[in-house]
Amino acid sequence: MSSQPEFPPHAGFIRAVSISCNKVRVGANVVINEDGVKRLLTSPAFTTAFTRLRTAHGYKLPLVFPSTLAELNLLATLSILNFGSGYRVPLHAATGRGAFDSIRALVFALYISATGAGEGDYLSAQGMRSVGAHIIADLMGLADKIHVERAHESIPGLAVGELGGPLWELVQLVTRTLNDTGAALVQGGYPDLGSFLLEALREGERAQAHGGTAEGGADIMCDVALERLVRFLPAFRDMAVVGGEPVYCFKKALLTLHAVALRFSTTDARVPVPRTAALPVFVDNVLPSLLVHLDVIDLSAARFGLAGVFGDAGSAARVEALLAAAATRDSEEKEERRAVPKEGPVLGEEQAYVLRAAAVDACEAIVQAAHELGKGMGTDGAWLCDMTLPELDAWLWAVAKDRPDYRKLERFVLRDTTYF
């Protein structure tokens, strides 16, 4: 595993994401296909679905909360656990659900099973710190899926069951993340994750009120809150050194801030709402994989062993089919959703960071191109002129689930990470 770099400078966390991702992409010789960008923006696949999916980040919580703080706590817990993409295929095979749906179901189960303050409430700081792997496995519906068989050492023909396999790895990652987060919260004197998130937002609000500025014109409230999240909680430190250069993605922390903005911008709840329209995308394995398949990211000459890892992705015939309007096949939809997806290329950490950095940079190029295209279309181009990076992120993430042909596309796999 590559080492982690130093934190970005104060008031420079958001800017560091864009700058570092561009530098790593260029250094890895990953190309943004300008013709592919234009094809995407004018394609029926994009123009017919963007408006419908541009806010679909999956964070709507169909629960009744006793307080705003309780809702913030659940939202923050969903964010801190928003990973597991490398276990998508075994999760589908075991439960019929993918990574995000499995994590969301777990968070709902944690909320419903809460019995009050203290260690019985796994959404409290104390409960997070002490929860065990077998409890998490049970709440995830994986208790009977976390054993593997091996031959007995001394009795021929006898198989012995023991804990192991990819789903046990995922359960351990989730448990460790909760334990480490709970320990940090307890040490910091916070009763739960929501209380810490609220304090981070208020700290950003104070910086904004005092006229603070962030590098590159980034929103100071977002930047200060982001820094607070990343510095305090290990599960938010989504950064690495790649080819001697630092790269910062901060996917889960950035998405946390945007989820707060989406949820509380239209309410009178006393939650400071950050301005997130200019945040970088919340990059996981879906965005770069999809952009390769749509011929926006070109890996043909890429370094780090990435050339050709997606096979014939980006070929003219495949791209043409993917950019067409979605076919309506309702009778097949349910059956196709139940199908176990095909595993994508298994990558190392450096390779994954290169692809994620390329997606961050490519999305900025797409939005810039959309604004230019929209200017030449008069009133018909207003939606392009108004497009934001979080909206583009939502479309890419949601359309990958929305279309049966997109769901079949291979996504790269990185296991043993808690960042996406």
How crowded is residue 224: how many other Cβ atoms within 10 Å of its Cβ? 25
What the block records as the tokens of 115 is 């019995």
For residue 31, report the phi and psi dihedrals to the nearest 5 degrees: -105, 140
Cα 367 to Cα 386: distance, rounded to the nearest angstrom: 9
Cα 364 to Cα 59: distance, rounded to the nearest angstrom: 23
DSSP, residue by residue, 245-267 = EEEE--HHHHHHHHHHHHHHTTS
Task: Look at residue 207 in the predicted model and tell me its pLDDT.
Answer: 96
Task: Look at residue 85 in the predicted model and tell me its pLDDT.
Answer: 97
Q: What is the DSSP letter of 376?
A: T
Task: Look at residue 1 in the predicted model and tell me its pLDDT.
Answer: 46
Asked whether the beta carbons of 364 and 389 are under 8 A apart, the reply is yes
What is the residue extent of each domain of the chain?
13-407
Cα 290 to Cα 251: distance, rounded to the nearest angstrom: 17
The interaxial angle of helices 193-209 and 68-80, nearest 10 deg, is 100
Is the pTM of the predicted complex or chain greater than 0.75?
yes
The interaxial angle of helices 220-232 and 251-264, nearest 10 deg, is 130
The two beta strands, 245-248 and 239-242, are: antiparallel
Task: Look at residue 61 in the predicted model and tell me its pLDDT.
Answer: 84
Cα 102 to Cα 109: distance, rounded to the nearest angstrom: 10
pLDDT in tens, the chain (420 residues): 457 999 999 999 999 999 999 999 999 999 999 999 999 999 999 999 999 999 888 888 888 899 999 999 999 999 999 999 999 999 999 999 999 999 999 999 999 887 555 556 999 999 999 999 999 999 999 999 987 777 767 787 777 677 889 999 999 999 999 999 999 999 999 999 999 999 999 999 999 999 999 999 899 999 999 999 999 999 999 999 999 999 999 999 999 999 999 999 988 888 999 999 999 999 999 999 999 999 999 999 999 999 999 998 888 999 999 999 998 655 555 556 668 899 999 999 999 999 999 999 999 999 999 999 999 999 989 999 999 999 999 999 999 999 999 999 999 999 999 999
Task: Look at residue 152 in the predicted model and tell me its pLDDT.
Answer: 64
Buried b (16+ CB within 10 A) or exposed e, 9-44: eebbbbbbbbbbbbbbbebbbbbbbeebbbbbbebe
Task: Look at residue 302 in the predicted model and tell me its pLDDT.
Answer: 98
How crowded is residue 285: how many other Cβ atoms within 10 Å of its Cβ? 23
User: In sequence order, which residues have a C-beta less than 8 Å from that of residue 145 and are 6 or more positions away?
Assistant: 94, 95, 165, 167
